[in-house]
Amino acid sequence: MGSGNLLTDLIRGAGMPLLLLAMLAMMMVPLPPLGLDVLFTFNIALSVAILLTTVYVGRPLDFAVFPTILLVVTLMRLALNIASTRVVLLNGHTGTSAAGKVIEAFGEFVIGGNYAVGLVIFGILVIINFVVVTKGATRVSEVTARFTLDAMPGKQMAIDADLNAGIIDQETARTRRAEISEEADFYGSMDGSSKFIRGDAIAAILILFINIIGGLIIGTSQHGLTFSAAVHNYTLLTIGDGLVAQVPSLLLSTAVAIIVTRVSRSQDMRKQVFLQLFSDHRTLLVTAAVLGVLGIIPGMPNFAFLSLAGLCGFAAFRIERSQRTPAEPEVVETTPEAALPDLSWQDVDPVDLIGLDVGYRLIPLVDRNRDGALVSRIKGVRRKLTEELGFLVSPVHIRDNLDLGPNNYRITLAGVCIGEGEVQIDKDLAINPSQVFGKIEGIETVDPAFGLEAYWIDASQREEAQMLGYTVVDPATVVATHLSEVLKSNAHELLGHEECQQLMDRLAESSPKLVEDLTPKLLPMSTITRVLQNLLEEKISVRNIRKIAETLAEQGARSQDPDALSAAVRVSLGRSIVQNVAGTRPELPVLTLEPELERILNDSAQEGGSLGLEPAMMERLHKSLSEKAQSQEIAGEPAVLLVAPQVRPWMSRMMRNVRNLHVLAYNEVPDDKRIQMLAAVG
């Protein structure tokens, strides 16, 4: 069994080198007519197999080796042209069978032995191949390669969005990124490979004239043939040789055109053609009517038109009948009214911590019986947030709300609306990530999660939008991403006394003495809960609950103030805070305040009070920091404001609505982290 597998692997591995050696041999060594027949037949069979593979393959990337095969087959056909030209010019004076039966059959049977007809047919084949199929396929390859490369950033952002929303895991994201890279490589290779077919068509025309002229000269001057005999022999042989080469060339050109005009997603092309062409019975019905009108016109081929009209009409009737679903009458059961029970505390519904209300048109998204996509998305969001925040996020209670618009949804926290939006269930959302290469036609809107410019587009426009650089997501992902961002922003309200107690209980399993000394001896649970809420409000995870508890146990004897304890915990978590902001780079680029301004703020910061700044000064400071943070975000760098510890809480509250601006204190930066001063804000 092992030796059989080894032999199979050797044969597979040696196939391509042997084929290349055979091509070199065809160019150098004269081949007998029988050898030419075998190779020409193999060339035609291989071209048919390649064409059928492009039809049956699920998606273009499943045939990623096609550009290489295209090059090898084109070179093999050119090598056959050289071998057949040698035989034609050497033995053409002996008759039309000098180059084998295949060339003779194409010269005698296909064109009836008339070289004038052969020239016309050869010219038509070359025009179809070169002007129509090859030129169109080359243009499609160029455009597809360019747009595929342009769409890569948008597709990468879509993968990152799905990953952040918890829809996919790291392995799936890695696989999808690899597919995007392979797709770009494939279409780039197809752009170059299509030039082989174009050059092959030009070479066929030149080879035809070279063979005819060379054959006439050799036949009349070296073999003493009359001009008419030389024209008959060499022209028929040359045209037969050209037709034998043009048929596989046309098949390969068609294969190139098919594979570059297909969409990227996996699908059965045969089923898709039938479904999209004949899914509406009205198409066949109108076609039958047109053919029927043509069939009754005197002088027209009535039988052909009327019979085809009847066939189209019958097919339209069968399609319409198969699509029709009879409505079943609803059976309404009437039951006597039961006596209403007395009210009890069970009738008082508690307020859901996290709620999602949807309009009636969005019910299919959350219907478990219909495999609603939003239900699985929300599970992914909960899992992702639980991992990031460090505590179990409460379940999301989903319900339909007739008070909402049919396409609207509302996100509530403890019964209060914290986010709402509108989605089109039958469309996709194309989001402009601030760098696109054209405008897409659609319904203009705004992405509810990040406030970016977006358009609702049809599903058929998805590929076009991605090529233009848009990030395209489905309605379920829009709602799930919005829910994820809203819950992240309000994570401190998701953690209550019960969640804090669960964290302490889990910590007690591994560090019982630490929890025993911390609560209730040193700090009450309410104070610990408030400290954790302060951290979450500052976008700091509480996953490292052991470190947090150790810091609270150390600082609890000195202060019971939650804000002071929160500041101490931030210092102990400084390394992880800086790593989450700036990654593992050795330098931390920061913004600072001008010394005079920081002195004023430091002097005016009072415990329990506020910064003693005039409103106009605070507005100017806010504007200046917002502009600096935006420029850092555009440059792809983190925006960090480094201030004194006394000023940090107040500056953090004042700049909380500035996206991606992190306010850190001097003592929160690890000693081994180098500071890179960007600007001093005044």
Contacts with 492 (C-beta within 8 Å, 6 or more apart), sequence order: 533, 534, 536, 537
Residue that is written with structure tokens 């020409």 in the block: 40
Give the residue-averaged pLDDT of 175-181. Answer: 81
pLDDT of residue 278: 66
pLDDT of residue 324: 65
Asked if 560 contacts 647 with a C-beta cutoff of 8 angstroms, the reply is: no
Task: Give the burial class of 463: count Cβ atoms within 10 A of its Cβ; 0-12 exposed, 13-18 middle, 19 or more buried.
Answer: middle
Question: For 62, which DSSP code?
Answer: G
Nearest to 390 by CA among 514, 258, 564, 506: 506
Give the residue-averaged pLDDT of 366-385. Answer: 83
Instruction: Report whether pLDDT(95) > 80.
Output: no
What single letter denotes the amino acid at residue 126?
V
Strands 408-413 and 354-358 come out as antiparallel
Instruction: Report whether pLDDT(243) > 50.
Output: yes
pLDDT band at 179 (very low <50, low <70, confident <90, very high): confident
Strands 354-358 and 396-400 come out as parallel
Helix H or strand E segment including 247: helix 227-260
Give the residue-averaged pLDDT of 520-547. Answer: 91
Nearest to 97 by CA among 474, 534, 363, 109: 109
pLDDT band at 402 (very low <50, low <70, confident <90, very high): confident
Contacts with 668 (C-beta within 8 Å, 6 or more apart), sequence order: 570, 571, 574, 577, 578
- Average of per-residue pLDDT values in the chain: 80
Nearest to 549 by CA among 581, 612, 503, 590: 503
pLDDT band at 273 (very low <50, low <70, confident <90, very high): low
CA 13/CA 165 separation, integer angstroms:
45
Task: Give the burial class of 64: count Cβ atoms within 10 A of its Cβ; 0-12 exposed, 13-18 middle, 19 or more buried.
Answer: middle
Instruction: Report whether pLDDT(73) > 80.
Output: yes
409 vs 51, higher pLDDT: 409
Nearest to 256 by CA among 208, 186, 207: 186
133 vs 279, higher pLDDT: 133
Residue that is written with structure tokens 């391509």 in the block: 16
Helix H or strand E segment including 200: helix 170-221
pLDDT band at 386 (very low <50, low <70, confident <90, very high): very high
pLDDT of residue 98: 65
- For helices 302-323 and 281-295, what crossing angle results, to 10°? 160
Helix H or strand E segment including 445: strand 443-446
What single letter denotes the amino acid at residue 454?
A
- For helices 525-537 and 497-510, what crossing angle results, to 10°? 100
Instruction: Report whether pLDDT(569) > 90.
Output: yes
Asked if 583 contacts 671 with a C-beta cutoff of 8 angstroms, the reply is: no
CA 575/CA 668 separation, integer angstroms:
8
Give the residue-averaged pLDDT of 538-556. Answer: 92
Q: Is 416 helix (H, G, I), strand (E, B) or coil?
A: strand
Burial 415-425 (b: 16+ CB within 10 A, else e): eeebbbbbbbb
CA 440/CA 456 separation, integer angstroms:
9
Nearest to 476 by CA among 397, 367, 393: 367
For the ranges 115-124, 302-311, 484-493, which has the lowest average pLDDT? 115-124
Largest CA distance in the chain: 121
pLDDT tens sequence across 191-228: 777 777 777 777 777 887 887 788 888 888 877 778 87
CA 37/CA 361 separation, integer angstroms:
66
Give the residue-averaged pLDDT of 288-313. Answer: 82
pLDDT of residue 625: 86
For the ranges 61-75, 379-393, 427-441, 606-620, which has the lowest average pLDDT? 606-620
Calculate what percentage of the chain has a pLDDT beyond 70. Answer: 86
The tokens describing 219, both together, are: 């036949």
What single letter denotes the amino acid at residue 50?
I
Contacts with 280 (C-beta within 8 Å, 6 or more apart), sequence order: none
pLDDT of residue 267: 58
Question: For 134, which DSSP code?
Answer: I
In degrees rounded to 5, what are phi and psi of residue 194? -65, -25
Highest-confidence segment of 133-137, 251-255, 354-358: 354-358
pLDDT band at 47 (very low <50, low <70, confident <90, very high): confident
For the ranges 81-85, 292-296, 345-349, which has the lowest average pLDDT? 345-349
Asked if 431 contacts 454 with a C-beta cutoff of 8 angstroms, the reply is: yes
Measured between alpha carbons, how far is residue 559 from residues 563, 598, 650, 665 in Å?
Answer: 10, 26, 20, 20
The tokens describing 320, both together, are: 């319409």
Give the residue-averaged pLDDT of 610-639. Answer: 79
pLDDT of residue 613: 66
pLDDT of residue 565: 93
- For helices 66-91 and 227-260, what crossing angle results, to 10°? 180
Instruction: Report whether pLDDT(530) > 90.
Output: yes
CA 183/CA 264 separation, integer angstroms:
8
Q: Is 49 helix (H, G, I), strand (E, B) or coil?
A: helix
pTM over 0.85: no
CA 652/CA 594 separation, integer angstroms:
17
pLDDT of residue 159: 79
Residue that is written with structure tokens 């101490």 in the block: 568
pLDDT band at 334 (very low <50, low <70, confident <90, very high): very low
pLDDT band at 12 (very low <50, low <70, confident <90, very high): low
How many CB atoms sit inside 10 A of residue 154's CB? 24
pLDDT tens sequence across 99-140: 667 777 776 665 665 667 777 777 777 777 777 777 777 777
pLDDT of residue 327: 45
pLDDT of residue 276: 65
pLDDT band at 479 (very low <50, low <70, confident <90, very high): very high
pLDDT of residue 506: 92
Give the residue-averaged pLDDT of 371-391. Answer: 88
Highest-confidence segment of 276-290, 508-522, 609-623: 508-522
Concatenated DSSP letters of 467-501? HTT-EEE-HHHHHHHHHHHHHHHTHHHH--HHHHH
pLDDT tens sequence across 322-333: 766 544 444 445
Q: Is the peptide bond before 329 cis (omega within 30 degrees of 0)?
A: no
What single letter denotes the amino acid at residue 322?
S
